[in-house]
Structure 1
Amino acid sequence: MSKFKKSSNTQQEIPTAALPDIIFMLLFFFMVTTVMRETDILVKQQLPKATQLQKIERKSLVSYIYIGEPKNVSLFGDEPKVQTNDAFVDIDDVILFVNQEKDKLSEAERDKITMSMKVDVGVKMGIVSDVQQELREANALKVLYSSIKRGED
């Protein structure tokens, strides 16, 4: 009788030919769906409601000024504060902020800069008026007041 020899040369490797494609697809998916927040809002924001709104055409020319009561009342108090980018500023520093924002733009677009003011509903008009005066002195004459659309009553 002859002996039968079992020859098993099976290898159990995982095919990795499609692995780079899968990784790049995941990378592109997360790059497209991830939203990067530009600023961390440190003030309470309940925007007023309006009936006639217009959309901003070029958001690259818009810089934001937030005015409202600080979220961290124990650290910053309960008086309304002015926030530009990620920090609180004094009203006198608004001119410096406008000049810094203008420096980021090209020479031709500097006169087209728009300052968008996001003001909380409960803020008194005095601080808003002071910021408007500083914007006039900084020659930022295009001022936009952000609001949300009023629903049908």
Structure 2
Amino acid sequence: MSKFKKKKSGDLPAVSTASLPDIVFMLLFFFMTVTVMKDSDLMVDNVMPYATEVQKLDKKDPVMYIYAGKPTSKYSKKFGTSDKVQINDKFVSPSEIKDFVLEYQSGLRQELQDRFITALKVDQDTNMGIITDVKEELRDANALKINYITKEGDALQNVK
């Protein structure tokens, strides 16, 4: 009989879990800083038209988005199938836009109020009359910087 036992070569050492909480919190912090929160749910159809001269908006400028188009199938039973204007998470009439714009501008810092931009995300099949009404209300609210959001491509693709 021997006093020493031979070591078994098939055993694996136990995995150390001491650094596991550090890794989990580091990943949690990473995803919290990189994740972008969604502003609002889109309640209108939004197939944007194509344009050739496209520029990106400067991220430093405050932007208010106004969506226009026919309500999606989820909302068409309640609101009908005619063109609607959406700001934030609700449908508004063009006459209510001025109030929304003034409220948004008053919430901005003083130095950002003159750089305020209104971005129109309009479905390509939307009636131009409702867009004209929206632009008139924006003019009344002194929101004169207006951008149309489009997809980059040949403008002839818009013709059906």
Name the TM-score, length of structure 1 as normaliser: 0.84
Find the partner of 1:113 among 99, 111, 116. 116
Distance in 1 of aligned mates of 2:24 and 2:147: 43
Match of 1:132 in 2: 135
One-letter amino acid of the counterpart of residue 132, structure 2: S
Superposition misfits of 4+ residues, deviation over 4 angstroms:
13-16
1:104 equivalent in structure 2 = 107
Residue aligning to 1:88: 91
- Post-superposition Cα deviations, 1:70-129, rounded to whole Å, max 9, x if no partner, equal 012111100110000111111111001101110121112112111000110101110000
2:18: which partner in 1?
17
1:108 is aligned with what amino acid? Answer: E
Q: Once superposed, what is the RMSD of the aligned Cα atoms?
A: 2.2
Once residues 98 and 33 of structure 1 are traced to their aligned partners in structure 2, the CA distance between those partners, rounded to angstroms, is 29
Unaligned runs of 5+ in 2: 1-13
- Residue 28 (1) aligns with residue 29 (2): yes
Distance 1:58 1:78 in 2: 34
Q: Alpha-carbon deviation of 1:33?
A: 4.8
Name the residue aligned to 2:52: 51
Match of 1:78, SS?
A: coil
Structure 1, residues 33-73: CA drift from partner, whole Å, max 9, x if none?
Answer: 53321111100000010001111013541110000000121
Instruction: Give structure 1 stretches of 5+ with no counterpart.
Output: 1-12
Task: Give yes or no for contact 2:50–2:155 (8 Å, CA) kept in 1.
Answer: no
For the residues of structure 2 that align with 1:47 and 1:30, how far apart are their CA atoms? Answer: 30
Contact 2:70/2:81, CA 8 A, preserved across alignment: yes
